[in-house]
């Protein structure tokens, strides 16, 4: 689950090796006049798979953002994975955001549910129920927190490295989504949201909400 932060996510190493080799070959054969589009692609792939170290937001009873991006939903909704009414906060990630996913809380993994599905724009509300997704239900000191990785329009791979029974620490890296997506967070109705629609957030650095009795 955890690994030393290498700045570039391990999920990107094969892509960087392939694109880098092609770029260097084209540059060698045709010079910069032919290779400059490949250099742009290489730089894009490099920035997409960056995975900087993060410092957790300070405070008690905080739910940390599991992803970088923009808040697109803050509303009361049904959590279909834990079968309850909940506060739903959704983070939309575009292709320029860091796509490493991190645990929002300390807790015990109670359930992991994977659902195949469509690949509509992750910015749309229907992506939460129609797209490919992976839900992780966490027991955080008696409070249930559900994190749902949702594939996006061009995302084609959800990666989740944890298992039922694992204990997570807030800010711990647990997964990755390739190329545009969102993460839905379902919290108890007692949660006090600390973000609004349109806010930019950063995984682990930003607190999404406060839940009394979380720690």
- Select which of 65, 90, 100, 181 is catalytic: 181
> What is the reported pLDDT for 154?
61
CA 88 to chain centre: 15
Rg (CA), the chain: 18
CA 194 to chain centre: 19
CB 205 within 8 A of CB 54: yes
CA separation (Å) from 58 to 142, 144, 153, 170?
21, 21, 34, 11
CB 71 within 8 A of CB 198: yes
> What is the reported pLDDT for 3?
58
Identify any residues that bridge with 214 across adjacent strands, giving them in sequence order: none
Instruction: Point out the residues of the chain with pLDDT beneath 70.
Output: 1-6, 117-130, 152-156, 179-180, 215
> What is the reported pLDDT for 126?
64
> What is the reported pLDDT for 213?
81
**Catalytic residue at 181?**
yes
CB neighbours of 100 closer than 8 A, spacing ≥ 6? 9, 51, 173, 175, 176, 203
> What is the reported pLDDT for 1?
46
Go through 121-134 and write b for each residue having 16 or more CB atoms within 10 A of its CB, e for each that does not.
Answer: ebbeeebbeebbbb
Provide the percentage of residues in the chain whose pLDDT is more than 70.
Answer: 87
Q: Take residue 44 and report the two structure tokens written for it.
A: 């894009």
> What is the reported pLDDT for 10?
84
CB 194 within 8 A of CB 58: no
Nearest to 146, CA basis, from 116, 96, 104, 193: 104
């Amino acid at each position: 689950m955890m690994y030393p932060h290498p700045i570039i996510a391990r999920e990107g190493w094969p892509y960087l090796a392939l694109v880098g080799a092609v770029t260097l070959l084209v540059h060698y054969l045709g010079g910069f006049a032919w290779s400059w589009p490949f250099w742009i692609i290489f730089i894009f792939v490099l920035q997409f798979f960056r995975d900087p170290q993060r410092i957790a937001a300070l405070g008690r009873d905080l739910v940390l953002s599991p992803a970088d991006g923009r808040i697109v939903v803050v509303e009361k909704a049904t959590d279909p994975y834990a079968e309850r009414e909940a506060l739903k906060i959704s983070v939309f990630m575009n292709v320029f955001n860091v796509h490493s996913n991190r645990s929002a809380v300390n807790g015990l993994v109670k359930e992991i549910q994977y659902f195949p599905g469509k690949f509509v724009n992750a910015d749309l509300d229907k992506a939460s129920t129609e797209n490919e997704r992976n839900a992780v239900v966490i027991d955080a000191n008696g409070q249930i927190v559900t994190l749902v990785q949702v594939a996006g329009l061009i995302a084609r791979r959800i990666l989740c490295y944890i298992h039922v029974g694992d204990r997570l620490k807030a800010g711990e890296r647990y997964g990755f989504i390739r190329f545009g997506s969102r993460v839905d967070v379902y919290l108890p109705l007692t949660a006090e949201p600390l973000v609004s629609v349109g806010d930019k957030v950063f995984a682990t650095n930003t607190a999404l909400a406060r839940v009394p009795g979380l720690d």
